[in-house]
Structures are given as C-alpha cells and as structure tokens.
Amino acid sequence: MPDNDFGYTRWGKDWVRLAEPLGQTRPDPQLPRARRIARDGGVQITIDGRLVRAAINRGRTTAVATIEVAPMSLERKAGIARRLSGARPVLTDELYRAITDAGHSPAPALTGVDCSCTAGTSRCVHVLAVYYEMAQRVDDDPRIALDIQGFFRTASDGADISTAVTPQRWIALNTLDPADYFSASK
Ligand SMILES: [Zn+2]
C-alpha cells in the first residue's frame, strides 16, 4: 500500500476500509484518483450528527455526496464506555485494540450513501474520496469516529452526555427502537 497517509490510526483505518474492503479481491481503479482528490483538498465536509455532507471538486465539476452512518447499538456504546476513562478520554490504538478484542468493534456501518453524479453507484470516485477525507479527519481526532455514530448522544433526545456517565444510566435514558437499528437505506 503506497498511501500510509490515510488511516495511520486504527480509528481512521476503519474509514479507509470503507473504500478498500478487506474482502475486495481486485483493487478498485478509482482509488488512486479518490486519494488524490482528498489529498489535494478537493473534499469539503460538513458533519451534522450522523450525516456527512460533502462537496467534492474534481476538475471543473462539483459533486455533492451524503453519507449516513448507522447509530451505534446501546450494547456497543456500553461496552466501549466501560473502557473509557475521564471526560476527555484519549482514543489510542491500544484502546481501539482493547475495545475490539472485547467484541465491541467501533468500525462504522453506513445506512445510506448518495451522490449527485451520474455514475449510478454508491462507490463512485466522489464517495470514495469522502471516505479518505474522513479517514484523515478521524486520524486527526479519533473522537469523530465515535461521535458520528451517536456515541456521545442519547438516542431519545440527542443531548450531549458525558462519557463519565455510567453505561447503566445510558440504557435507562434510551428507549429501544428496533427501527433505529435495522432500517434500510433511505
Ligand atoms: Zn459521485
């Protein structure tokens, strides 16, 4: 892999994996272009809750892509919260490994991917560029990896809560709605 500048943390690597799934047998020929767009600052991102809105400039054209990240299950939130300490925990690669080894992988799942271009695929070069841009952002601040899955919010009212709050209280605060966790792409 020639590009170690994307996903040099475990947290950021999860976003690289969206562009480069482990099960992929042949490399996607669009990947070098997507990396170049991200590296050249061609992706403008706005994160709004679990939505990533992005404008991707390539040559003279601009595409608009939206990526929706699935909310993290309460069980996983609780499992991860048990490993965090303090109001502003430092999300190291060691912590990532511990969380994953305990069966609570923090890798994001996507519920919706949309792009304004005419490629007619959810893996167009614009969307791939957004994954790389997100990998860079998460490398810079791994808290984004959890925040974008609603980790720091309650499911019911979206209010910010501290990671110092006990997992039991989180579960009590929330009402389980299976539709939130098993909804299809919108
Ligand atoms: Zn596109």
Cα 123 to ligand 1 centre (Å)? 8
pLDDT band at 156 (very low <50, low <70, confident <90, very high): low
Strands (E) located in the chain: 43-48, 51-58, 61-69, 110-115
What does the alpha-carbon distance between residue 134 and residue 112 come to, in Å, rounded to a whole number? 16
Cα 125 to ligand 1 centre (Å)? 6
Encode pLDDT of 109-153 as tens digits.
999 999 999 998 999 999 999 999 999 999 999 999 999 999 987
pLDDT of residue 168 exceeding 50, the answer is: no
Sorted by where each begins, the domain ranges of the chain are 10-175
Q: How many CB atoms lie within 10 A of CB 170?
A: 18
Beta-carbon contacts of 107 under 8 Å, excluding residues fewer than 6 positions away, are 14, 17
Cα 143 to ligand 1 centre (Å)? 27
What does the alpha-carbon distance between residue 35 and residue 96 come to, in Å, rounded to a whole number? 25
